[in-house]
């Protein structure tokens, strides 16, 4: 078990497409996932993608029991998702402020699909097939973007809605609250 350093925007490897996992239930994969949970917990994230700790494999983790910033949102089950695919269920899009552990202290207003289906595998090779909405769906889209080398600032459509948390709060864009990062 080890907390790993989270790579920050500017690192070239964050912009690469990550590789498919082809061997499940391996010691190497188990170690990677342990490191990812340790790092996400330490950084108080709601999700993490393997390339954020310098491993360019298609592995993401996400989930929490209770998020004080979204007290009414249902818990998102703690999930390891490997080689994920996302399909949209409806065309509906919403715009919500996002943060990222690789872009610390900043937030941007990002469009995401509201209702999605996601499929993939856990670390043992068992199939995962779920539907998700709202914040749950947003976290998955954010994490899966990391696997294709996309960081959320690349999805901000109007750059007046991208900046440092404190300044966005001072200028009335954001409610004063801790940044939510994934």
- The binding site for Ni ion (CB under 5 A) comprises 100, 182
Tokens describing residue 96? 């919500």
Please say if 30 is a catalytic residue: no
Query: For Ni ion, which is the closer residue by CB, 29 or 182?
Result: 182
User: Out of 30, 34, 143, 175, which one is annotated catalytic?
Assistant: 143
State the minimum distance, in angstroms, from the CB of residue 42 to Ni ion.
Answer: 15
Coil, helix or strand for 166?
helix
Among 31, 29, 45, 26, residue whose Cα is nearest residue 1:
31
In this structure, are residues 59 and 49 in contact, taking their beta carbons and an 8 Å threshold? Answer: yes
Query: For Ni ion, which is the closer residue by CB, 81 or 100?
Result: 100
Tokens describing residue 137? 């769906």
DSSP string, 3-15: --PPP-BTBGGGG
State the minimum distance, in angstroms, from the CB of residue 151 to Ni ion.
Answer: 7
CB-based closest residue to Ni ion: 100
In this structure, are residues 132 and 171 in contact, taking their beta carbons and an 8 Å threshold? Answer: no
State the minimum distance, in angstroms, from the CB of residue 152 to Ni ion.
Answer: 7
Query: For Ni ion, which is the closer residue by CB, 89 or 96?
Result: 96
Query: For Ni ion, which is the closer residue by CB, 21 or 48?
Result: 48
State how far the Cα of 49 lies from the Cα of 68, in Å rounded to an integer: 22
State the minimum distance, in angstroms, from the CB of residue 99 to Ni ion.
Answer: 8
b/e per residue, 58-86, with b = 16+ CB within 10 A? bbbbbbbeeeeeeeeeeebeebbbbbbeb
Q: Which residues are catalytic?
A: 143
């Amino acid at each position: 078990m080890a907390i790993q350093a989270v790579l920050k925007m500017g690192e070239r490897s964050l912009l690469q497409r990550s590789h498919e996992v082809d061997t499940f239930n391996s010691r190497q994969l188990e170690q990677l996932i342990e490191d990812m949970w340790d790092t996400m917990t330490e950084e108080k994230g709601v999700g993490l993608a393997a390339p954020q700790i310098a491993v360019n494999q298609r592995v993401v983790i996400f989930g929490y029991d209770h998020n004080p910033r979204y007290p009414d949102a249902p818990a998102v089950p703690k999930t390891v998702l490997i080689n994920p695919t996302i399909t949209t269920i409806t065309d509906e899009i919403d715009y919500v402020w996002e943060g990222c552990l690789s872009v610390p202290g900043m937030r941007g207003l990002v469009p995401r699909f509201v209702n999605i289906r996601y499929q993939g595998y856990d670390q043992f090779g068992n199939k995962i097939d779920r539907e998700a909405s709202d914040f749950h769906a947003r976290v998955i889209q954010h994490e899966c973007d990391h696997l294709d080398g996309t960081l959320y600032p690349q999805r901000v459509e109007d750059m007046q809605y991208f900046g440092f948390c404190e300044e966005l709060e001072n200028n009335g864009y954001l409610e004063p609250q801790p940044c939510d990062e994934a």
